[in-house]
């Protein structure tokens, strides 16, 4: 089955810093989403991005499907960005989630 790896596993930033999170996947996929899991456990959809680049405020994402990776950029980080970031790629009838990047932003 498809393997999904995320890096780094943990990241600590000072407020205002920028960061890049990476998601590698082992096979071609038709669909990829980035989620932020907040401290209450909710999965917040950030991007649906099977290919190309999208931006939403301080966040942007790029997926290079032919090279089997996706990047999530966080600029000018805020304490509310803390939590775990997951990428998920589509199998036929399911999502396969990565192991996540745990981000802590310090004030």
Partner 1 sequence: EPEVTQTPSHQVTQMGQEVILRCVPISNHLYFYWYRQILGQKVEFLVSFYNNEISEKSEIFDDQFSVERPDGSNFTLKIRSTKLEDSAMYFCASSPGTGGVSYQPQHFGDGTRLSIL
Name the site residues for partner 1 (rule: CB under 8 A): 29-31, 33, 35, 41-43, 45, 48, 50, 86, 88, 90-100
CA 73 to chain centre: 8
Q: What minimum distance in Å lies between the beta carbon of 59 and partner 1?
A: 16
Which of 1, 57 has the CB closer to partner 1? 1
Q: What minimum distance in Å lies between the beta carbon of 57 and partner 1?
A: 17
How far is it, in rounded angstroms, from Cα 98 to Cα 104?
18
Q: Tally the residues of the chain.
A: 107
Q: What minimum distance in Å lies between the beta carbon of 80 and partner 1?
A: 17
How far is it, in rounded angstroms, from Cα 85 to Cα 34?
7
């Amino acid at each position: 089955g498809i393997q999904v790896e995320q890096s780094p596993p943990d990241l600590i930033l000072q407020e205002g810093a920028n960061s890049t999170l990476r998601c590698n996947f082992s096979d071609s996929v038709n669909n990829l989403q980035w989620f932020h899991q907040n401290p209450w456990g909710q999965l917040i959809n950030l991007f649906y991005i099977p290919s190309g680049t999208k931006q939403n405020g301080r966040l942007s994402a790029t997926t290079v499907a032919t090279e089997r990776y996706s990047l999530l950029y966080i600029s000018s980080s805020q304490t509310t960005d803390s939590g775990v970031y997951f990428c998920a790629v589509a199998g036929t009838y399911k999502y396969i989630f990565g192991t996540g990047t745990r981000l802590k932003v310090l004030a």
